[in-house]
Structure 1
Amino acid sequence: MNQQQLFEEIQKKRSFLCVGLDTDIQKIPPHLLETSDPVFSFNKEIIDATAEFSVAYKPNLAFYESLGSKGLVSLEKTVAYIKENYPEIFLIADAKRGDIGNTSNLYARAFFGEQDFDAVTVAPYMGEDSVKPFMTYPGKWVILLALTSNKGAFDFQFIEDRETGDKLFETVLKKSQQWGSEENLMYVVGATKAEKLKEIRAIVPNHFLLVPGVGAQGGSLQEVAHNGLNSKCGLLVNSSRGIIYASGEVDFAEKAKEAAREVQQEMEALLQEAGLI
């Protein structure tokens, strides 16, 4: 999926919502524990309930790896289900990988060769040779960690270069543009740092940004949109807990649908305000 195709899907659904499939077996409705694969059963119902409002899904690998081989099977079934039933939806592996080139080659093969994700989140700390292997797959995307929404972001990401005055996250944005383009490189920018989006847009005006932190983490969708929208939207805003755990009862899928619809309606208004639909 290229940038224009992603934008067309955003226009079609009047939404730039990414639903995070952070499926915790300790939080899913108890009646699903009686099924043969509770995690997949939960995901399937969430996907069917929210697909009309979502342009992307983002399974967080930690939630699946924590269950061992059973969790990886659930993940593979989830990926296959989305690809078969909702092929227009952008699928992100929230894996935060990044290692020496040889190892990154294998990570890329796992997510793009075996599991057919459209994108994977990558940590930039080890530099170019740890990122470039993910960019050798046509039509696939790297989503590079730039400015995250957690408190620990201030430990390193705001350290200033004494010569240039650039903060570390700004250096990541500038340097990484030598590795890829707006057609295969996105950036993670936390919604709780929405005030920094204008500065980030000055550095990467045309790239898509994946923005977590809206909803349960307290980020403002309006602030994100007003500071981060570009001429092709350029945003994928993720909500996880606020949608998938809208209810812990038998009605969980219907409540997730209502929560996703509510976010989509707000996004539609913001897209209209920006003249993008």
Structure 2
Amino acid sequence: MNRQELFGQILKKKSFLCVGLDTDPGKIPSHLLKGKDPIFEFNRQIIEATAEFAVAYKPNIAFYEALGPKGWESLQKTLDYIPKDIFSIADAKRGDIGNTSSLYAKAFFETMDFDSITVAPYMGVDSVKPFLEFEGKWVILLALTSNEGSMDFQMELSKEGKPLFQEVLEKSSKWGSPENLMYVVGATRGEKIAEVRRIVPDHFFLVPGVGAQGGSLEDVAKYGMNAQCGLLVNSSRGIIYAGGGINFADSAKQEASKIQLEMEVLLEKYLHK
């Protein structure tokens, strides 16, 4: 999916919602556990319930890897079920030396056919470039994350007096372009979103941390939106575990609809400013 197609979906649905499929066998409704593939069945119902509001889905690969071969099978079936006009993100946080990165890229872009993958930048350009060589695919580079431990390195000042995350943004923006490179920017660091946007004005941001982690959707839009929206805001637990029991998908739909309505207002407020 290219940038214009993604923006088209945002305009069509009046939404920049990404639904995180962090599907945990210990949290899904018990009645699904009797089936042949409970993980896929849960995801299938979530996708059916939320597809009219979502412009992206993001399976966190760890939840599937942890289940071994059956987990990978559930992941592939989930990916195949996502409508082709909805952006797919492999939240895998890969990144290694060149040849290994090339194989990671092949696994997720050719074998599985995701639209994008999250990548860690801290081994440098040769660990990221192989992912950028696949036409029509996207790298989503970790830039400024919302976890507590992010303070350990991302805010450390370089010899030029810049925080490390800023150095990462400035250097990596030359490796790709706004047509194939996005950034992970945590919503719980609302005061930093405007700073990131100044450094990379045209790139899309994948923004976790809204909802369960306490980030403000209003702040994300106010400081992060650009002329083509430039935002994919992720909600995982807040949507997929909004309710339990037989009607879990209805609860997910209600929560996704609620977020979409907020996003519609924010698009009207900030998109053309």
1:101 aligns with 2:98: yes
Q: Do 2:225 and 2:271's aligned partners in 1 also have CA atoms closer than 8 Å?
A: no
Query: 2:148 is paired with a residue of what secondary structure?
Result: coil
Does structure 2 conserve the Cα–Cα contact (< 8 Å) formed by 1:192 and 1:220? yes
Equivalents in 1 of 2:41, 2:272: separation in Å? 36
Give the equivalent residue in structure 1 for 2:190. Answer: 194
The answer to whether 1:71 aligns with 2:71 is yes
Whether contact under 8 Å (1:15, 1:264) holds in the other structure is: yes
Change in 2 beyond 3 A, CA 1:26/1:139: same
Tell me which of 87, 90, 95 is aligned to 2:87: 90
Q: CA RMSD in A?
A: 1.0
1:139 aligns with 2:133: no
What is the CA-CA distance between 1:272 and the residue it aligns to? 0.6
- What is the one-letter code of the residue matched to 2:63? F
1:110 and 2:73 are equivalent in the alignment: no
**Residue 11 of structure 1 contacts residue 276 of structure 1 at CA under 8 Å; is this kept in 2?**
no
Q: 1:122 aligns with which of 119, 122, 145?
A: 119
How far apart are the structure 2 equivalents of 1:113 and 1:194?
A: 36
Contact conserved, 2:212 with 2:238, CA < 8 A, in 1?
Answer: yes
Equivalent residue, structure 2, for 1:248 = 244
2:21 alignment counterpart = 21
Equivalent residues in 2 for 1:166-185, closer than 5 Å? 166-185=162-181
Output the amino acid matched with 1:71: G
Could you tell me which runs of 5 or more consecutive residues in structure 1 were left unpaired when the two chains were aligned: none
Q: Return the offset for 1:275.
A: 4.4
How big is each residue's C-alpha offset from its partner over 1:131-159, in whole Å with a ceiling of 9 and x where there is no partner? 00001110100000000010001000000
Distance (Å, rounded) in 2 between the aligned partners of 1:183 and 1:276: 20
TM-score, with structure 1 as normaliser? 0.97
How many pairs were matched up?
273
Match status 1:8 vs 2:5: no
Taking the aligned partners of 2:48 and 2:179, their CA distance within structure 1 comes to 29
Poorly superposed stretches of 4+, deviation over 2 Å: none
Percent identity (aligned): 66
Q: Displacement, 1:64?
A: 0.3
1:152 equivalent to 2:149? Answer yes
CA–CA distance in structure 1, aligned partners of residues 195 and 14 of structure 2: 26
